[in-house]
């Protein structure tokens, strides 16, 4: 089973590499990390919506962390979108970020949903 | 058992610096499963505090940390303890940072997503390197079980099986016969058997029958009585006596003269040797480890090796796999050797281009490790670093990046079918080959290999147990 945004086999291999004894804890932690990074990105979008100056350093960290996580779980499209956000933050391109971050968070949502479904099918 | 990670509990802990909790949990679990005592930090400040406290010899460091630049953290660690092996972790798109880190003193770098095999290999190599720094008086003896040459390390399934066998046979006194293609590391394997045995504090002596003229073999191996005006001891000790209480590594038995073969047989039967020209029998305690590139039974059939000697020596066979069968190990070894060779040649090479890694993975490596060393040295001598790209490789090797052909099809003669390659093997050997290959293709996962072969995982586990007990 491979969804459009998540490679199920990569996730299965990941949970197998970690070992069955921590699969449930690892799955929970992955979901928590997704939620945390997503919420941080949402906060940055709100900030931009209010016309505040973007916190490029924070956005760079958020995008970088999501990129590493996305690569690890097999969410390749999200990794690409994260890399794009990382580059825009590094280049301090606030205008482009304002239009790119919603795409980033929307994809985060889709991957998190796919992740939860995959985890459920793998662990149960 | 894993030779690469034997006695991990005696190693200093490994420091893992990763800020994403799920990734930290994953890496820590993989490392703990491999036997590493791991302490963790989530940011630069924590990392430096834990580093100062534990002084680990190996650090896994994410370059992008929430409170500090990983490069700065790395420099501070190296200032505190210069011989620390720091493996930096980076994500796709940050390769330049990884190369910069390597120039600044990082031992190695890993790119996310991290495969468990690559992660463990990198840590095992870093530990092997760091233990080389330890002086003999700290180690107790430079020839301890952990002093195994790092070019003999590997994470592939076939190498893990080899380590298990070495560990199993090391405690026995039974003769070991190491078989493998030229350049596969048969001597390193024999040395590993010695180093894992109770004899490890004593000598490991080699005797290559092909390198010693026939007329000198007897005196060289068993010693020689001195002439009458010689010192009182009267005996010039041979290799056998020098190896007393240790291990003797015998190569190319087919080149051993019939007289020497008869005396070796006598030693195996009675535990004594008679130096040339002396009527005295000297008792020696030596474990014999032989090596050959071909089946010694062929030498028996050809009349070059005594049959009774063959049965005395061919007790525990160990097969050292060729480099092409070791999967991703070839790239781990290549990176390790590249840094060594670059240092020797005063060059800045630190990494392989991804295309080079693909070529290395697909190449048949008929010359095994020796060929790999030659290819790397050629690239280093003729070019400038830091990355080995495909255009630096011999053309015949570069072709393996394009064809995508497997090593087995590369090594097939024209007109041969895949089944012809298996000619001469028993059904049990073919079954073992097919199953171990499937496990290797699936990165060591037995359940996945079982799915690929459409058999139950328990069948594979049962067969592996059978192979292990048969080997012993």
Give the mean pLDDT of B330-354.
84
Between B21-33 and A20-49, two packed helices, what is the crossing angle to 10 degrees? 160
- Average model confidence (pLDDT) across chain A: 87
For chains A and B, CB pairs below 8 A equal 66
Residue B131 vs residue B376, higher pLDDT: B376
Residue B407 confidence (pLDDT): 40
> What integer pLDDT is reported at residue A89 of this predicted model?
92
The per-residue pLDDT for A104 is 93
pLDDT digits (tens, 9 = 90+) for B442-468: 767 777 788 888 787 778 877 777 765
pLDDT(B84) > 60: yes
Q: Which of B18, B20, B34, B121 is best to mutate for the A interface (most A CBs within 10 A)?
A: B20
Determine, for residues A83 and B93 on separate chains, whether the beta-carbon distance falls below 8 Å. Answer: yes
Asked if A6 is an interface residue toward chain B (Cβ–Cβ < 8 A), one would say no
Which pLDDT belongs to residue B64? 86
pLDDT of residue B143: 36
- Total tally of structural domains belonging to chain A: 1
Contact: B91, A71; criterion CB under 8 Å:
yes
pLDDT at B427 over 70: yes
Measured between CB atoms, does A10 come within 8 Å of chain B?
yes
Answer whether residue A3 is part of any domain.
Answer: no
A14 interaction partners in chain B (CB closer than 8 Å):
26
The pair of three-digit structure tokens given for residue B163, joined into one six-digit string: 């380590």
**Binning pLDDT at 50, 70 and 90, where does residue B95 land?**
low
Span A61-71, mean pLDDT?
92
Dig out the tokens for B67 from the structure: 């409170």
Domain holding A74, by residue range, is 8-123
- pLDDT attached to residue B92: 57
Residue B211: the pLDDT is 82
Task: Give residue B469's pLDDT.
Answer: 54
pLDDT of residue B32: 83
Burial class (CB in 10 A: 0-12, 13-18, 19+), B420: exposed
| pLDDT, mean over chain B | 79
Cα distance between residue B109 and residue B99, in whole Å: 8
What integer is the mean pLDDT of B88-99?
Answer: 70
Is A2 among the domain residues?
no
Could you read off the pLDDT of B367-418 as tens digits, one per residue?
Answer: 888 889 889 988 988 888 788 998 899 888 877 655 434 444 444 444 545 5
pLDDT of residue B231: 44
Q: Of A29, A65, A71, which is closest to B113 when you measure between CB atoms? A: A71
Quick one: pLDDT band at residue B2, thresholds 50, 70, 90?
Answer: very low
Query: Omega of the bond prior to B178 within 30 degrees of 0, cis?
Result: no
pLDDT (tens digit per residue) in B271-290: 888 888 777 788 889 999 99
Where residue B188 falls among pLDDT bands split at 50, 70, 90? confident
Q: Taking 50 as the threshold, does the pLDDT of residue B147 lie above it?
A: no
**What confidence tens digit (pLDDT) does each residue in B223-271 have?**
887 654 444 445 667 888 888 888 999 998 888 999 999 999 999 999 8
Q: Which of B33, B112, B445 sits opposite A19 (nearest CB)?
A: B33
B54 touches chain A (CB under 8 A): no
Asked whether B204 and B143 are in contact (CB, 8 A), the reply is yes
Retrieve residue B44's tokens.
């630069």
Tell me if A98 is assigned to some domain.
Answer: yes
Q: Are B82 and B106 a contacting pair, CB within 8 Å?
A: no
% pLDDT > 70, chain A = 94
In this prediction, residues B187-198 reach a mean pLDDT of 86
Q: Please give the pLDDT value at position A56.
A: 93
Among B74-83, B101-110, B338-347, the least confident range:
B101-110
| Percent of chain B clearing pLDDT 70 (strictly above) | 81
Burial B212-240 (b: 16+ CB within 10 A, else e): beeeebbbbbbbbbbeeeeeeeebbbbbb
Test A33 with B91 for CB contact under 8 angstroms: no
Checking ipTM against 0.85, whether it exceeds it is: yes
| A56-115 residues touching B, CB cutoff 8 A | 61, 64-65, 67-69, 71-72, 74, 79, 83, 86-87
Average confidence (pLDDT) over B356-372: 88
Spell out the alpha helix ranges (H) of B346-456.
354-362, 368-382, 395-398, 400-403, 407-410, 418-421, 427-441, 446-453
More confident residue, B12 or B61: B61
Q: Which of A6, A7, A16, A18 to mutate to test the interface with B (most CBs of B within 10 A)?
A: A18
Domains of chain B and any CATH numbers: 3-139 (3.40.50.2300), 157-319 (3.40.50.300), 323-410 (1.10.8.60), 418-471 (1.10.10)
pLDDT at res. B3: 34
Here the tokens at position B158 are 């076939």
- The reply to whether A16 falls in a domain is yes
Put simply, the answer to whether B66 touches A18 (Cβ < 8 Å) is no
Q: What is the CATH number of the domain that holds A87?
A: 1.20.120.160
**Of residues B214 and A16, which shows the higher confidence score?**
B214
Identify which of B472, B464, B376, B388 has the alpha carbon closest to the alpha carbon of residue B428.
B464
DSSP 3-state of B84: coil
H or E element in which residue B177 lies? strand B176-179
Looking at residue A2, what is its pLDDT? Answer: 54
pLDDT of residue B400: 66
Q: pLDDT grade, residue B93 (50/70/90)?
A: low
Cis geometry, peptide bond prior to residue B138 (ω within 30 degrees of 0)? no
Nearest to B325 by CA among B374, B367, B364: B364
Is the CB of residue B112 less than 8 Å away from at least one CB of chain A?
Answer: yes
Q: Which residues of B touch A64 (CB under 8 A)?
A: 64, 91
Judged by average pLDDT, the poorest of A32-36, B341-345, B372-376 is B341-345
Q: State percent of chain A over pLDDT 90.
A: 44
């Amino acid at each position: 089973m491979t969804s459009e945004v998540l490679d199920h086999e990569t996730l299965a291999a990941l949970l197998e590499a970690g070992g069955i004894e921590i699969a449930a804890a690892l799955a929970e932690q992955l979901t928590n990390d997704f939620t945390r990074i997503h919420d941080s990105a949402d906060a940055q979008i709100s900030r931009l919506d209010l016309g505040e100056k973007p916190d490029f350093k924070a956005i760079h960290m958020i995008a970088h962390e999501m990129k590493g996580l996305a690569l690890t779980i097999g969410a390749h499209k999200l990794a690409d979108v994260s890399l794009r956000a990382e580059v825009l933050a590094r280049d301090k391109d606030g205008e482009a970020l304002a239009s790119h971050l919603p795409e980033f968070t929307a994809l985060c949502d889709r991957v998190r949903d796919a992740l939860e479904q995959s985890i459920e099918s793998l662990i149960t | 058992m894993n030779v690469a990670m034997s006695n991990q509990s005696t190693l200093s802990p490994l420091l893992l610096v990763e800020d994403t909790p799920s990734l930290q949990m994953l890496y820590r679990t993989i490392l703990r499963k491999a036997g590493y005592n791991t302490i963790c930090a989530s940011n630069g400040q924590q990392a430096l505090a834990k580093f100062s406290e534990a002084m680990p010899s190996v650090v896994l460091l994410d370059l992008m940390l929430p409170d500090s630049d990983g490069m700065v953290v790395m420099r501070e660690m190296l200032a505190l303890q210069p011989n620390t092996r720091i493996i930096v972790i980076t994500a796709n798109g940050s390769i330049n940072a990884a190369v910069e880190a390597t120039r600044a003193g990082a031992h190695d770098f890993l790119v996310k997503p991290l495969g468990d095999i690559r992660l463990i290999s990198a840590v095992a190599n870093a530990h092997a390197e760091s233990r080389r720094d330890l002086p003999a008086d700290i180690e107790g003896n430079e020839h301890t079980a952990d002093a195994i040459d790092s070019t003999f390390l590997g994470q592939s399934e076939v190498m893990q099986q080899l380590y298990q066998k070495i560990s199993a046979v090391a405690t026995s006194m039974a003769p070991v016969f190491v078989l493998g293609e030229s350049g596969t590391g048969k001597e390193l394997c024999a040395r590993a058997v010695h180093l894992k045995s109770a004899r490890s504090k004593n000598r490991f002596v080699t005797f290559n029958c092909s390198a010693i003229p026939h007329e000198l073999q007897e005196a060289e191996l068993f010693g020689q009585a001195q002439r009458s005006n010689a010192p009182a001891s009267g005996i010039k000790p041979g290799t056998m006596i020098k190896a007393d209480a240790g291990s003797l590594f015998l190569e190319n038995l087919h080149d051993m003269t019939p007289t020497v073969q008869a005396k070796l047989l006598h030693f195996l039967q009675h535990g004594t040797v008679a130096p040339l020209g002396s009527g005295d029998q000297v008792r020696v305690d030596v474990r014999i480890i032989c090596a050959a590139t071909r089946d010694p039974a062929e030498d028996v059939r050809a009349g070059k090796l005594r049959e009774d000697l063959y049965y005395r020596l061919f007790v525990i066979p160990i097969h050292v796999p060729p480099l092409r069968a070791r999967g991703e190990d070839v790239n781990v070894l290549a990176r390790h050797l590249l840094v060594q060779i670059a240092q020797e040649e005063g060059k800045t090479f630190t990494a392989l281009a991804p295309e080079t890694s693909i070529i290395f993975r697909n190449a048949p490596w008929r010359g095994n490790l020796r060929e790999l060393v030659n290819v790397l040295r050629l690239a280093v001598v003729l070019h400038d670093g830091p990355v080995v790209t495909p255009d630096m490789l011999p053309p015949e090797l570069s072709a393996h990046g394009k064809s995508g052909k497997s090593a087995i099809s590369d090594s097939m003669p024209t007109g041969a079918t895949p089944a012809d390659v298996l000619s001469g093997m028993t059904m049990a050997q073919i079954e073992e080959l097919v199953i171990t290959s499937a496990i290797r293709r699936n990165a060591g996962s037995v359940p996945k290999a079982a799915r690929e072969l459409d058999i139950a995982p328990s069948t594979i586990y049962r067969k592996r147990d059978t192979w292990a007990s048969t080997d012993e």
